[in-house]
């Protein structure tokens, strides 16, 4: 029987981020119907988290008690209902979660998950006994350097790890974390029936069974062959024994993995046919929430700066991350993290503009593009690419050919020169690394800015000029959350095309379509939100002439800093 979908139908998206669990209910036309959130620190104080996490006893150990997340699911659904959300209209659920964290299900936990009692809260059923490890390591944990070295050595070196999995071994990635549990808590590892990442854990609860890990989040584990799209035997062997049976088979991110658990039907009134889409990592979900096109470069200016991009091919860049694309089969997503982002801008704002962003912007705007040849690199803490720390200021006369001249100057003569040199230097740096990763800059390039500093128009103008591309911001700020709901909506559409029951989905585009004419994710989603991007800045006419030579000079400066 084909399920009936009327115009009151909705989809639901979840995002389990570091600090909160958020939910959004959208109509089939992607209008917001209801939202709810649970903040871990303030709503669940009994878990004593700070910023959503707990510090472990060991160096760089950061963990979360999984029951806290379970309790948050109970609460967020209650809050949606309290807002008047009719969960009986929900036809599909999608999800997003912080990447890399790992959860270890006990046999008892798996049994409980499959037999939830709708008279009880989730958290009294999926309690500590559901997990063999009650302190789940999350992405902020940096305690597995030793396991990283061991895993890379075991498969024949770092280059091989990058080639297979899209990333060198990182302490926060799931594989090294699993290896540490196996080594230090072998009994718990033995007792573990399944291992979930945070996204597949959240999906498991809604599914009432262990949900598969999606290709996108699998790419953040140092265990998944991103070209072959299957677990890499070599990597599994370098990590822990009998791991494949604990991980289950990964699936494409767009997969409908099943129907909602009867628990939610009985307790919250979800329809029994409500479908669950594979859940994925938050960065992947953010790319789908931005509905980024091939030519879009997403720049997140949060605590650290991040670039996310679509890639047709896997680049060979040791320090970036390459993940399987969340919505385009056979494409990749490039992810670059920059440590010296907002925190450095903030420190300049303090020293040069008394902590006043308005003043900071006046100074920035009062200097010309190119800054009379004054340029700076500020890696105050160890940068990720290039992997170095240091500061270098060059004037127009500095030169790499002479070692004295290459050292540049200690300070520029004015605060405005300092500020422009900082911002231009940060953006030239990003442009160079994005090109190295394989992003192709051209006349259609668009920058989509997001995160705290994306409210700053003067900074966005510098970005526009340095990248020689218009800068947009999105009306919706929670890209990962909305991406989750958009993917749920798209999966309903694809399902309807495949089952050729288009008319009941009530949108023109599904009518009389055979699957060869199926719209891709971008075209499908943007028809409902045609104006999701707002143009903020356009590049000045002379910017290519100014910044192309400066890009070359940036590379010389980075080289000099590396040699120092
Ligand atoms: P998070 O990574 O925690 O999500 P946000 O996206 O909220 O961070 O961004 C926080 C950063 O935004 C702060 O570090 C701050 O420096 C920066 N920020 C906030 N307002 C401005 C502004 N007007 N101009 C430049 N930067 C800003
Ligand atoms: C990405 C990463 C974080 C987490 C938390 O590699 O570690 O962005 O996904 O949001």
**Residues 288 and 326 sit within 8 Å (Cβ to Cβ):** yes
Specify the pLDDT at position 515. 59
Phi, psi at 77, each rounded to 5° = -70, -40
| CA of residue 283 to ligand 2 center, whole Å | 7
Q: Could you identify the atom of ligand 1 that is nearest to the CA of residue 343? A: 14
Q: How many CB atoms lie within 10 A of CB 51?
A: 11
Q: Could you identify the atom of ligand 1 that is nearest to the CA of residue 451? A: 6
E strands, 107-187, are 136-137
Q: Supply 317's token pair.
A: 């860049």
Specify the pLDDT at position 382. 86
Considering only CA atoms, which residue is closest to atom 11 of ligand 1? Answer: 452
SS3 37: strand
The set of protein residues with a Cβ atom below 6 angstroms from ligand 2 is 18, 98-100, 139, 172, 220, 281-283
The rounded distance, in Å, linking the Cα atoms of 337 and 469 is 21
| CA of residue 241 to ligand 1 center, whole Å | 43
Buried b (16+ CB within 10 A) or exposed e, 228-260: ebebbebbbebbbeebeebbbebbbbbbbbbbb
Considering only CA atoms, which residue is closest to atom 10 of ligand 2? Answer: 98
* Residue carrying structure tokens 């993290």: 337
Considering only CA atoms, which residue is closest to atom 5 of ligand 2? Answer: 98
Buried b (16+ CB within 10 A) or exposed e, 473-509: bbebebbbbbbbbbbbbbbbbbbbbeeeebeebbbeb
Specify the pLDDT at position 359. 98
Specify the pLDDT at position 6. 66
Mutate to test the pocket of ligand 1, among 453, 458, 478 (most ligand atoms within 8 A of CB): 453
Specify the pLDDT at position 501. 52
pTM of the predicted model as reported, rounded to 2 decimal places? 0.90
Q: pLDDT tens for the chain, 564 residues: list them.
A: 344 456 799 999 999 999 999 999 999 999 999 999 999 999 999 999 999 999 999 989 999 999 999 999 999 999 999 999 999 999 999 999 999 999 999 999 999 999 999 999 999 999 999 999 999 999 999 999 999 999 999 999 999 999 999 999 999 999 999 999 999 999 999 999 999 999 999 999 999 999 999 999 999 999 999 999 999 999 999 999 999 999 999 999 999 999 999 999 999 999 999 999 999 999 999 999 999 988 999 999 987 899 999 999 998 788 899 999 999 999 999 999 998 998 899 999 999 999 999 999 999 999 999 999 999 999 998 898 888 899 999 999 999 999 999 999 999 999 999 999 999 999 999 999 999 998 999 999 999 999 889 999 999 999 999 999 999 999 888 999 999 999 999 999 999 998 875 444 445 444 445 556 799 999 999 999 999 999 999 999 999 999 999 999 999 999 999 998
DSSP category for residue 212: P
């Amino acid at each position: 029987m084909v399920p009936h979908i009327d115009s009151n139908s909705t989809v639901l998206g979840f995002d389990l981020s570091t600090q909160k669990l958020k939910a959004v209910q959208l109509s089939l036309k992607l209008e917001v119907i209801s939202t709810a959130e649970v903040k871990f620190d303030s709503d669940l104080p009994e878990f004593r988290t700070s910023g959503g996490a707990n510090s472990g006893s060991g160096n760089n150990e950061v963990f979360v008690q999984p029951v806290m997340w379970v309790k948050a699911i109970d609460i967020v659904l209650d809050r949606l209902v309290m807002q008047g959300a009719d969960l009986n209209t929900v036809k599909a659920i999608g999800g997003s979660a912080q990447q890399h964290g790992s959860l270890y299900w006990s046999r008892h936990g798996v049994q409980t998950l499959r037999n939830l009692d709708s008279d009880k809260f989730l958290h009294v059923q999926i309690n500590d006994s559901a997990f063999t490890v009650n302190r789940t390591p999350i992405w902020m944990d940096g305690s597995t350097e030793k396991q990283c070295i061991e895993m890379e050595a075991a498969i024949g070196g770092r280059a091989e790890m990058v080639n297979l999995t899209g990333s060198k071994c990182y302490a926060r990635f799931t594989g090294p974390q699993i290896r540490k549990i196996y080594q230090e808590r072998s009994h718990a590892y033995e007792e573990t029936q399944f291992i979930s990442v945070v996204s597949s854990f959240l999906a498991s609860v809604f599914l009432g069974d262990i949900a598969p890990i999606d290709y996108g989040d699998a790419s953040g584990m140092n265990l998944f062959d991103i070209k072959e799209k299957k677990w890499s035997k070599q990597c599994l062997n370098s990590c822990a024994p009998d791991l494949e049976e604990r991980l289950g088979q990964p699936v494409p991110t767009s997969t409908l993995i099943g129907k909602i658990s009867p628990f939610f039907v009985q307790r919250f009134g979800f329809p029994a046919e409500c479908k669950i889409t594979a859940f994925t990592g938050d960065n992947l979900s953010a790319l789908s929430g931005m509905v980024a096109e091939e030519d879009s470069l997403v720049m997140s200016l949060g605590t650290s700066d991040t670039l996310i991009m679509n890639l047709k091919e896997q680049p060979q860049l040791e320090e970036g991350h390459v993940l399987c694309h969340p919505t385009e089969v056979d494409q990749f997503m490039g992810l670059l993290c920059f440590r010296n982002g907002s925190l450095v801008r903030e420190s300049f704002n303090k020293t040069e503009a008394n902590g006043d962003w308005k003043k900071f912007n006046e100074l920035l705007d009062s200097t010309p593009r190119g800054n009379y040849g004054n340029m700076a690199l500020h890696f105050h803490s160890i940068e990720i690419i290039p992997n170095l720390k240091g500061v270098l200021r060059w004037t127009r006369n500095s030169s790499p050919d002479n070692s004295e001249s290459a050292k540049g100057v200690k300070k520029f003569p004015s605060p405005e020169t300092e500020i422009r040199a900082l911002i231009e230097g940060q953006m030239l740096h990003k442009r160079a690394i994005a090109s190295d990763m394989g992003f192709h800059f051209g006349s259609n390039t668009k920058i989509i800015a997001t995160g705290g500093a994306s409210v700053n128009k003067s900074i966005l103008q510098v970005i526009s000029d340095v990248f020689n591309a218009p800068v947009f911001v999105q009306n919706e700020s929670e890209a990962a959350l909305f991406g989750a709901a958009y993917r749920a909506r798209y999966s309903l559409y694809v399902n309807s095309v495949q089952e050729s029951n288009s008319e009941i989905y009530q949108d023109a585009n599904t009518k009389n379509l055979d699957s060869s004419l199926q719209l891709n994710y971008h075209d499908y989603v943007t028809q409902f939100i045609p104006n999701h991007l707002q143009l903020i800045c356009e590049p000045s006419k002379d910017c290519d002439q100014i910044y192309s030579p400066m890009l070359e000079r940036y590379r010389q400066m980075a080289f000099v800093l590396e040699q120092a």
